[in-house]
Every structure is written in C-alpha cells, then in structure tokens.
Amino acid sequence: MDADTALELVKKGAALLFLDVPQHTLLGIDTQMFSVGPNFKGIKMIPPGPHIIYYSSSNRGGSEFSPMIGFFIDLNPSEVIIRKWDQRGERLVKVSEEEEERYTLAVQGLEFDRYLGPYTLSQFGEWKMLSNYITKSTIERIEPIGAEITVIHEPDILENSHKTVMEEALSEQLKRSKILISDDKLEKRGCYYTKIPRLIKQKGILGQELTFLNLDKTNLLESILMKDYGGVEDLLLAELQFAFVAFLMGQSLEAFLQWKAFINLLFGCTEATRKLKELLERSLGWVFQTENMGDGICYDEDDEFAPAVVMLDEPSDG
C-alpha cells in the first residue's frame, strides 16, 4: 500500500486508543488478535460499523491469562474510542471527558500514529460474514449493563439448565472459582437475550398435540418471531450472530447457551425446514437427493444420522 492510500485510510477509518495496557495482554478486534508489545497503543484504519473488542490480561511472563472480557461497539467514520487500563490492573475503562477530548485531537493529529497497529483489511470480509445482521440497535438491545461480556459474571448460568457432561464439569469449575471473584463482579447482569424455551408446555391441549408441538417447533419459531422481533427475521438473525460472536471471541458461556438454544430451535422446525426446501428448489433450482425411510422423514443416502436397519439373528431351536 502506498503512503497516500494509507494516510487516507487512517483519516477515514476509526481508531481505538488503548493507554497503559500491560505487555503480553491478548487483545483482539473481530477476527484479529494481537499480543501487546511495549509500543502498542491501539488500532487504526478500522472500517465503520459494528465490531467486537476482547482482551485477556496475563501475568508478567505472559504464560497465564485471565478469562476473556469483551464488548461490542459501533464505530462512525474517523471516530476515536479511548480506553485506559484501570488502576487495579484488570480491565479497560473509559477516560474523563477532558482526557477524551485531548487524546482524540492527538490521534486525529497523527501524534499516536506510529503506536497504532493497522486493522487487517483483508480479514474484514470474514468479520462481515459473521456479523452482517448486527446493528447498533442490536448491540444496545442485547448488551449487558456496563457492556462487558465475560464468563466471570456468569457463575450461575448453568444452575437451572439441562447440562451435558462437559457443561456440568464447567459449572463445577466456575463454582470453585467463585471465591476468587470480587463482590462487585458478581452483581453484574448478563446479556438481555430473548428467552427460548427448551420444551413447549401448554395447558388445555391433548398430550398427542403437545408431543407434536415439541417434535416440530415451527409454531414456536413463528411465535417468537412475532412476539419478540415484530415479525422481522433479520432481528432474530442479528441476535443469533451476536450470541455466536460473543461465544467465539468473548468466550461467554451465556452466549454459547443462547446460540445452542437458537440452533436447537431452528433445526427442530420440520415444517419450516420443508418450506425452505421448497423455496430453494423453486427459486434456485436446487435438487435434494433424499430417501424416505418409512418414518415420514427423508434422509440423505449418506446421512450418518439416518436410521439403520439391523438384521437380528434368528432364534435357535435349542
């Protein structure tokens, strides 16, 4: 990249100025991760729009790291966001209005330019694929009080949920680590995710009908779409992406459970999956090679989850 093009991107792109971040801290934006060196003071040439920032502090030798802390931001062109490392040595915090104004002018005057690492624009496409439905309103609707997303605030998330063996082990690990978490952190609330029931429970309907509603959750999906998203599918997809990114980059257990709930819901919609199949066949000309196994469900011939026919040994006369 020539100098004039780089200078233009610096001026038009947003910038993050991070002051006093300890060396060896892991710090990331979107799909890019940095290990903080002695001269690192932030990131420049950031495309406008939603992004996730996440970081993990380390010991002096850089061999052990604390749980990840993340937060979403929505950047305008040429905007400068300023954070500094707090006195407790734990996290990035906002600066005073006076400091913000002074440092913003310094960044715009290129006084910090040689200390700011460039955003890798070749990886921006990867981030857009993960976040193209996330908007500023998505962030404002879902983010927790204080904006921080971290497993540190989530020791009780698994308390009343159905857990796998690995989730049970993680729950016990979080309980044991509670004594290391200060009281002010325990008071933090998680994200404002949409509630997705694992099982459908309705009074006044026959058991057979209730079973059907739990086998095909199309009605539940449509109900959630209307009740929580006003019928706008993009809002549901935005929350799905928000949860996945918060889980993938922010290592949030709460986000993982929300993402899993979405996936279970979407893959449990037989009628909606059928309508989608018809739409793809009609509009895009897709051809699905399927085989009906006699149970009303069609499986791909090579589907590892399709039912298998097992020939039992004939009983012996003896």
Looking only at the bridges linking them, the beta strands covering 14-19 and 80-85 are: parallel
Look at residue 25 and tell me if it is in a domain.
Answer: yes
Q: Is the separation of the CB atoms in 146 and 249 below 8 Å? A: no
Query: Most confidently modeled of 15-24, 207-216, 284-293, 305-314?
Result: 15-24
Phi, psi of 62 (to 5 degrees): 75, 25
CATH number at residue 109: 2.60.34.20
Is pLDDT larger for residue 39 or for residue 295? 39
Tokens of 179: 């004594």
Residues 20 and 122 in one domain: yes
Based on the structure, what is the number of domains in the chain?
Answer: 2
Look at residue 293 and tell me if it is in a domain.
Answer: no
Residues 21 and 67 in one domain: yes
Domain interval for residue 246: 149-268
- Say what the pTM is: 0.78
Tell me how far apart the alpha carbons of residues 50 and 42 are, in angstroms, rounded to a whole number. 17
Write out pLDDT tens, residues 170-187.
656 655 544 334 444 444
Mean pLDDT of 35-62: 92
User: Which pLDDT value is given to residue 267?
Assistant: 87
Mean pLDDT of 224-245: 95
Amino acid identity for residue 142 in this structure: I
User: Which pLDDT value is given to residue 290?
Assistant: 60
Q: Is the separation of the CB atoms in 206 and 214 below 8 Å? A: no
Whats the size of the chain, residue-wise? Answer: 318
Residues 154 and 79 in one domain: no
Q: Is the separation of the CB atoms in 154 and 252 below 8 Å? A: yes
DSSP 178: G
Q: Is pLDDT of 84 > 50?
A: yes
Phi, psi of 117 (to 5 degrees): -75, 140
User: Which pLDDT value is given to residue 301?
Assistant: 47
Percentage of the residues of the chain whose pLDDT score is greater than 90: 51
Q: Is pLDDT of 77 > 80?
A: yes
User: Which pLDDT value is given to residue 120?
Assistant: 93
Residues 183 and 158 in one domain: yes
Look at residue 296 and tell me if it is in a domain.
Answer: no
Mean pLDDT of the chain: 82
Residues 160 and 128 in one domain: no
